[in-house]
Amino acid sequence: MDAPMEKTQRANFSDLLAAERTYLAWIRTGLALLGLGFVVARFGLFLERLDYIQHITPAHSYGLSLWFGTGLILAGVAVYLSSAWRYVRLIRALNRGETLATRPSIQAVLVAVFLALVGLAMAIYLVSVRGS
């Protein structure tokens, strides 16, 4: 007896479009992280200029906003790289006709946890700067 040949089915066009929409959503997320990182990094400079205009000698440094902003920018770059890698892998798997197991997106969970930690750190930083 001959073994039945498995027939691989290429992905539907709607599957490919769904993968592309997901990829574009990750691109928007990365862009938002880059923009937010730039704003946060420049926030300290804005506060220093505000003190200068009001002729106030700053009693504290706003240097941490640069680090928070840089962290957000690096997170945006990481989102770009990981989403591109994931998209290419997904399209190749769909074109080979492989069945894909559904599971929670580790990338989405990591981005959410990272942003929660950065938000918490920024809140603590702003409270400590305001209090001094």
pLDDT in tens, 89-111: 888 988 888 777 777 788 888 88
Higher-pLDDT residue of 34 and 128 is 34
pTM of this prediction? Answer: 0.70
pLDDT at 25 over 90: yes
- State the DSSP string of the chain: -PPPPPPP-PPPHHHHHHHHHHHHHHHHHHHHHHHHHHHHHHHHHHHHHHHHHTT---SS--THHHHHHHHHHHHHHHHHHHHHHHHHHHHHHHHHT--------HHHHHHHHHHHHHHHHHHHHHHHHHH-
User: What pLDDT is attached to residue 5?
Assistant: 46
Instruction: Identify the sign of the CA torsion 43, 48, 54, 56.
Output: positive
User: What pLDDT is attached to residue 24?
Assistant: 92
pLDDT in tens, 48-102: 766 667 666 655 556 777 888 888 899 999 999 999 999 998 889 888 887 777 7
User: What pLDDT is attached to residue 80?
Assistant: 93
